[in-house]
């Protein structure tokens, strides 16, 4: 087994880290170790500046002319293309709009519509609940002859791939355990049975290199407020492979998806392309902030991001090997997990609160999971060293048993 590095070796790792300069692109409070970028990414300075510009200049001074003058009308496409580069998607297939949940509804109903004669949506029992709820809601809306949700354990997914399945709906990196599916292999296996595949990339985009085109993915959705640092409630994205554009018809036929919204025609005619996934007026302020936030990825190689992500999580596990009271829930093999780590403990909530009180920001997922996220653009190796030391001290002293740490907040 590899011996744990010393503090001076860790300082050297930061010194040699090619991604270290990207930390300066973020506003990070002093004396805080931020291990929650998997939930809400930190604020890029470019985003802060753009927020001011879009509110004061574009909205405040240029008012409605900004739709043309500042090209607000094409922002969903522009931002979508910036995200596309991180997804391994050629232009014309990715657009920024609405929330992940709403986008999932649109794509799932498109995919089911393409699969006449099949009604099963195969998914994972511990998929992110919103994804299950959206599929269940669509089933209740369309009736069991058109949509039936079948949720099975991850290990059983492959044995359920057969000609009754219309759509395989999976989250690439599990929100709780960080377990990562082999996207290319599962997509290919599903296609062998004529199944369309819809991936939720919320915990992968900006953390894991993706090749949606090369892997023949049909559809994908994802959040932008985690590793893409778009800010709280930032608009999500949709990817729909070009080969499906001619035959899909999304259900939320709002005017922004019309081929010519400013014709104000009485009949809905969808835009011929990914723009048809727009529904209502885009949230320009938050989309502008996201647009600027994505600039931090401009010169960044996603493989370098992944290498650092693996190095950070591996370092945490190496240094934390004495914290036996906290079993790892994430896969031990780095190739099988995303950029966060999950540990279980009956008092995980209190441990999380005790860490937060000491400046190590992380989160809790019911019923017993402590989650620590490692955003490679701004987390340092030294942060890993310090957070492991804080965690070890909290576990050794049992300071988490203090009553103040058991008060449940509304958001965990
Ligand atoms: C994997 C996954 N899917 C979907 C969602 C829901 O996203 P939204 O609330 O933006 O619709 C989340 C939110 O955290 C998520 O983690």
In angstroms, the CA 138 to CA 285 distance is 30
Whether 412 is in a domain gets the answer no
End-to-end CA distance of the chain: give it in Å, rounded: 35
The dihedral of CA 363, 368, 374, 375: what is its sign? negative
Residues 209, 85 share a domain: yes
> Ligand 1: which of 96, 108, 128, 171 to mutate, judged by most atoms within 8 Å of the beta carbon?
128
Task: Please indicate, yes or no, if residue 40 is contained in any of the structural domains.
Answer: no
- Do 242 and 333 sit in the same domain of this protein? no
Q: Which of 297, 328, 354 is the last residue of a domain?
A: 297
Residue among 105, 175, 219, 225 flagged as catalytic: 225
Domain end (from 267, 297, 327): 297
Average pLDDT over residues 285-309: 97
The answer on 365 and 343 residing in a single domain is yes
Residue matched to tokens 């740490």 = 405
Q: What is the pLDDT of residue 322?
A: 73
Top mutation candidate among 97, 100, 364 for ligand 1, by most atoms within 8 Å of CB: 100
61 is catalytic: no
Query: Kind and range of the H or E element at 106?
Result: helix 100-114
Q: Cβ distance 207 to 339 under 8 Å?
A: yes
Question: What are φ and ψ of residue 276, in 5° steps?
Answer: -60, -15
Q: Which atom of ligand 1 is nearest to the CA of 236?
A: 10
Mean pLDDT of the 382-391 span: 97
Residue 406: pLDDT over 90: no
- Domain, as residue range, for 287: 49-297
Whether residue 131 has its Cβ less than 6 Å from ligand 1: yes
148 DSSP assignment: E
Residue 1 has pLDDT above 60, yes or no: no
Rounded to the nearest angstrom, the distance between the alpha carbon of 172 and the centre of ligand 1 is 12
Residue 101 sits in the same domain as residue 146: yes
Q: Are residues 200 and 56 in the same domain?
A: yes
Q: Give the end of a domain, one of 242, 263, 297.
A: 297
Catalytic residue (choose from 17, 200, 291, 363)? 200
pLDDT top residue among 80 and 411: 80
What percent of the chain is predicted at pLDDT more than 90?
95
* 291 and 166 fall within a common domain: yes
Is 17 close to ligand 1, i.e. is its CB under 6 Å away? no
Residue 411 included in any domain: no
> For the CA atoms of 293, 296, 299, 304, what is the dihedral angle to 10 degrees?
-120
Does the C-beta of 133 come closer than 6 Å to ligand 1? no
| Nearest-CA residue for atom 8 of ligand 1 | 100
Mean pLDDT of the chain: 97
Give the DSSP per-residue string, 211-226: -TTTTT--EEEE-SSS
Q: Specify if 44 maps to a domain.
A: no
Give the pLDDT band (50/70/90) at residue 324: confident
The mean pLDDT of 2-27, rounded to a whole number, is 95
User: Is residue 408 very low, low, confident or very high in pLDDT (cuts 50, 70, 90)?
Assistant: confident
Structure tokens at 188: 């290919």
The reply to whether ligand 1 has any atom less than 6 angstroms from the CB of 202 is yes
For 190, the token pair is: 């599903």
Q: How confident is the model at residue 325 (pLDDT cuts 50, 70, 90)?
A: confident
Domain assignment present for residue 153? The answer is: yes
Say how many Å lie between the CA of residue 247 and the centre of ligand 1: 27
- Selecting among 26, 128, 227, 316, the annotated active-site residue is 128
The pLDDT tens digits of the residues spanning 41-66 come to: 999 999 999 999 999 999 999 999 99
Please indicate, yes or no, whether residues 231 and 354 belong to a single structural domain of this protein. no
User: Which atom of ligand 1 is the closest one to the Cα of 127?
Assistant: 1
pLDDT for position 326: 92
User: How far, in Å, is the centroid of ligand 1 from the Cα of 16?
Assistant: 35
What separation in Å is there between the alpha carbon of 128 and the centre of ligand 1? 7
Residue 373: strand pairing partners: 340
* Band of residue 2 on the pLDDT scale cut at 50, 70, 90: low
Q: Check whether residue 155 and residue 72 sit in a common domain.
A: yes
Give one word for 194, left, alpha or beta, with left for phi > 0 and alpha for psi -120 to 50: left
Among candidates 295, 293, 254, which has minimal Cα distance to 276?
A: 254
- The pLDDT value recorded for residue 3 is 80
pLDDT digits over 113-150, tens only?
A: 999 999 999 999 999 999 999 999 999 999 999 999 99
Per the annotation, the verdict on 200 as an active-site residue is: yes
Q: Are residues 14 and 123 in the same domain?
A: no
257 and 327 share one domain? no
The number of distinct structural domains making up the chain is 2
If we measure between CA atoms, which residue out of 90, 104, 127 comes closest to residue 210? 90
Tell me 36's DSSP state: -
Backbone phi, psi, residue 237, to 5°: -135, 160
Is 175 touching ligand 1 by the criterion CB < 6 Å?
yes
CB proximity list for 331: less than 8 A, separation 6 or greater: 177, 178, 179, 180, 337
Count other Cβ atoms within 10 Å, centred on residue 278.
25
Does residue 100's CB lie within 6 angstroms of at least one atom of ligand 1?
A: yes
Given the DSSP bridges, would you call strands 94-97 and 236-240 parallel, antiparallel or unpaired? antiparallel
Mean pLDDT of 381-400: 96
The catalytic residue among 371, 378, 380, 381 is 371
With respect to residue 130, please indicate whether it lies within any of the assigned structural domains: yes
d(CA 292, CA 195): 37
| Cα 202 → chain centroid | 2
The CATH number assigned to the domain holding 346 equals 3.90.1150.10
Return the half-sphere exposure (C-beta side, CA atoms, 13 A cut-off) of residue 154.
Answer: 17
Long-range CB contact pairs, 304-307, < 8 A, 24+: 304/18, 304/19, 305/19, 305/206, 305/207, 305/209, 305/376, 305/377, 306/207, 306/208, 306/209, 306/376
142 lies in the same domain as 53? yes
- Each residue of 311-325: b (16+ CB within 10 Å) or e? bbbebbbebbeebee
pLDDT at 142: 94
Q: What CATH number is attached to the domain comprising 178?
A: 3.40.640.10
CB 54 within 8 A of CB 284: yes
133 classed as catalytic: no
User: Which residue, among 156, 161, 207, 162, has the nearest Cα to 180 in the 3D structure?
Assistant: 207
98 is catalytic: no
225 is catalytic: yes
* Assigned domain for 39 exists: no
For residue 66, the CA-to-ligand 1 centroid distance in Å is 31
Centre of ligand 1 from the C-alpha of residue 37, in Å: 14
Q: How far is CA 315 from CA 4, 208, 385, in A?
A: 8, 18, 8
Averaged pLDDT for residues 69-75: 98
Do 165 and 289 lie in a common domain?
yes
CA-to-CA distance for 58 and 55, rounded, in angstroms? 6
For residue 367, is the peptide bond before it cis, meaning its omega torsion is within 30 degrees of 0? Answer: yes
Three-state SS for 308-320 is HHHHHHHHHHHHC
Q: What is the whole-number distance in angstroms between the Cα of residue 199 and the centre of ligand 1?
A: 12
90 occurs within a structural domain: yes
């Amino acid at each position: 087994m590899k011996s744990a590095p010393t503090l001076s070796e860790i300082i050297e790792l930061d010194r040699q880290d090619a991604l270290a300069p990207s930390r300066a692109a973020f506003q990070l409070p002093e004396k805080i170790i931020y291990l929650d970028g998997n939930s809400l990414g930190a604020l890029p300075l470019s985003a802060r500046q753009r927020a001011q510009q879009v509110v004061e200049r574009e909205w405040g001074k240029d008012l409605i002319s900004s739709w043309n003058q500042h090209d607000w009308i094409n922002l969903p496409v522009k931002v979508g293309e910036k995200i596309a580069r991180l997804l391994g998607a050629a232009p014309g297939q990715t657009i920024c709009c609405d929330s992940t949940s709403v986008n999932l509804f649109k794509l799932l109903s498109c995919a089911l519509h393409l699969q006449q004669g099949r009604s099963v949506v195969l998914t994972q029992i511990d998929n992110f609940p919103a994804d299950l709820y959206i599929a269940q809601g669509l089933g209740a809306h369309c009736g069991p002859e058109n949509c039936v949700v079948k949720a099975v354990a991850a290990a059983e997914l492959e044995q359920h791939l057969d000609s009754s399945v219309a759509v395989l709906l999976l989250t690439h990196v599990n929100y709780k355990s960080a377990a990562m599916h082999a996207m290319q292999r599962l997509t290919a296996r599903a296609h062998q049975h004529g199944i369309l595949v819809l991936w939720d990339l919320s915990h992968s985009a900006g953390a894991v290199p993706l090749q949606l085109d090369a892997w023949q993915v049909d559809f994908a959705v994802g959040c932008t407020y985690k590793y893409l640092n778009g800010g709280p409630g930032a608009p999500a994205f949709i990817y729909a492979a070009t080969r499906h554009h001619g035959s899909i018809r999304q259900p939320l036929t709002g005017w922004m998806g019309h081929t010519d919204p400013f014709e104000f025609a009485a009949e809905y005619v969808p835009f011929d392309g990914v723009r048809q996934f727009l529904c209502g007026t885009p949230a320009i302020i938050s989309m502008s902030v996201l647009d600027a936030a994505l600039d931090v990825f401009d010169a960044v190689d996603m493989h370098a991001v992944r290498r650092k992500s693996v190095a950070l999580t591996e370092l945490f596990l190496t240094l934390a090997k004495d914290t036996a009271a906290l079993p790892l829930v994430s896969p031990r093999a780095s190739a099988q997990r995303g950029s966060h780590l999950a540990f279980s403990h009956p008092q995980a909530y209190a441990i999380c609160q005790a860490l937060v009180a000491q400046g190590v920001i992380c989160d809790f997922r019911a019923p017993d999971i402590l989650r620590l996220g490692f955003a490679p653009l701004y987390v340092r190796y030294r942060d890993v060293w310090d957070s492991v030391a804080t965690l070890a001290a909290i576990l050794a002293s049992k300071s988490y048993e203090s009553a103040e740490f058991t008060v449940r907040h509304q958001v965990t």
